[in-house]
């Protein structure tokens, strides 16, 4: 668990700057189908620097950002220092430290693949109020919708450490069904980021499975990425497309 928690400690700056946010339609989905109101209280589990929490905080919701990594938690505390409805919490999915029946929504964005599912579900049920909702969501980077994304995926596989083991798109329908233990809904929205080369490099380095800048593999990796960017960029920019997937149910 300690190794898992600390994977992102040296990735915080790039994570904050270059990870994708979530399209506005996600908040609309919460309003339309999960009874989100401005006075609803949410727990964002594995919240990192607060990328997913932002839309709820800006909606007026009180959000408990539960994050075990101290560097990520500190980044969120700095980013949202002017939000009275932000509450940083040192906790995990399996032990949030929140009170019984204290939240209306439990959210986990880009984090579910780090959880012990059944222990986490028991904890989520404990902290949820009756009729509350659980939502898992993440941005799945498209890997073959453009020639650039196909070649970018090959670059990741070539240079990554444990890419296949930790990628969240390994999660199957069977695993989700075992976690929710009841019928659940799914929605998918389009999402995109547009980068110059430094932005694309930062996005690459935000991933815990990629070599760091002090790794001997970094120079050839960076050179390969620069070649790839030069080949496919238009007007000095490249597009990275995602499917934003949300899986949710009422408890």
Confidence at 10, pLDDT banded by 50, 70, 90: low
Tell me the CATH number at 243: 3.40.50.150
End-to-end C-alpha distance for the chain, whole angstroms: 28
Q: Please give, one letter per residue, the 3-state secondary structure of 161-193.
A: CCHHHHCHHHCCHHHHHHHHCCCCEEEEEEEEE
Give the mean pLDDT of the chain.
Answer: 92
The rounded distance, in Å, linking the Cα atoms of 43 and 207 is 24
Which residues is 247 bridged to in the sheet? 136, 186
Q: Long-range pairs for 55-62 at CB < 8 Å and ≥24 separation?
A: 55/21, 55/22, 55/24, 55/26, 55/27, 56/27, 56/30, 56/107, 57/83, 57/85, 57/86, 59/27, 60/85, 61/36, 61/85, 62/87
State how many domains the chain has: 1
Where would I find the beta strands (DSSP E) of the chain?
41-45, 62-66, 86-89, 103-109, 128-141, 185-195, 238-250
Interval 165-182 mean pLDDT: 80
The residue with tokens 């009756």 is: 130
Q: Which residue has the higher pLDDT, 208 or 222?
A: 222
What pLDDT is recorded for position 19?
A: 95
What pLDDT is recorded for position 7?
A: 43
Model confidence at 163: pLDDT above 60: yes
Model confidence at 135: pLDDT above 80: yes
Confidence at 60, pLDDT banded by 50, 70, 90: very high
pTM of the model: 0.89
What pLDDT is recorded for position 127?
A: 98
**If we measure between CA atoms, which residue out of 227, 153, 229, 224 comes closest to residue 197?**
229
Confidence at 208, pLDDT banded by 50, 70, 90: confident
Percent of the chain at pLDDT exceeding 90: 86
The rounded distance, in Å, linking the Cα atoms of 159 and 205 is 12
Model confidence at 165: pLDDT above 70: no
Model confidence at 1: pLDDT above 50: no
Model confidence at 3: pLDDT above 50: no
Percent of the chain at pLDDT exceeding 70: 93
Model confidence at 184: pLDDT above 60: yes
Q: Which residue has the higher pLDDT, 198 or 165?
A: 198
Domain assignment of residue 7, given as a range: 2-250
Interval 121-132 mean pLDDT: 98
What pLDDT is recorded for position 2?
A: 38
Model confidence at 80: pLDDT above 90: yes
Interval 40-60 mean pLDDT: 97
């Amino acid at each position: 668990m300690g190794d898992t928690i600390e994977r992102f400690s040296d990735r915080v700056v790039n994570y904050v700057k270059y990870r994708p946010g979530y399209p506005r339609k996600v908040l609309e989905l919460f309003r339309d189908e999960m009874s989100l109101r401005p006075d609803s209280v949410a727990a964002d589990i594995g919240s990192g620097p607060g990328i997913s929490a932002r839309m709820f905080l800006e909606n007026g919701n009180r959000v408990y950002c539960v994050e075990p990594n101290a560097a990520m938690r500190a980044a969120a505390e700095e980013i949202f220092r002017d939000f009275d409805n932000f509450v940083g919490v040192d906790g995990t999915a399996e032990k949030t430290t929140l009170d019984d029946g204290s939240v209306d929504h439990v959210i986990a964005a880009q984090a579910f693949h780090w959880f012990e599912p059944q222990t986490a579900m028991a904890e989520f049920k404990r902290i949820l109020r009756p009729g509350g909702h659980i939502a898992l969501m993440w941005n799945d980077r498209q890997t073959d919708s453009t020639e650039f994304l196909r070649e970018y995926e090959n670059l990741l596989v070539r240079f990554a450490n444990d890419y296949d083991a930790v990628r969240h798109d390994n999660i199957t329908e069977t695993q989700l069904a075992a976690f929710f233990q009841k019928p659940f809904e799914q929605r998918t929205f389009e999402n995109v980021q547009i980068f110059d080369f430094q932005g694309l490099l930062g996005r690459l380095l935000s991933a815990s499975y990629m070599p760091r800048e002090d790794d001997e593999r970094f120079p050839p990796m960076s050179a390969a990425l620069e070649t790839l960017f030069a080949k496919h960029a238009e007007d000095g920019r490249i597009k990275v497309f995602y499917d934003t997937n949300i899986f949710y149910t009422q408890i």
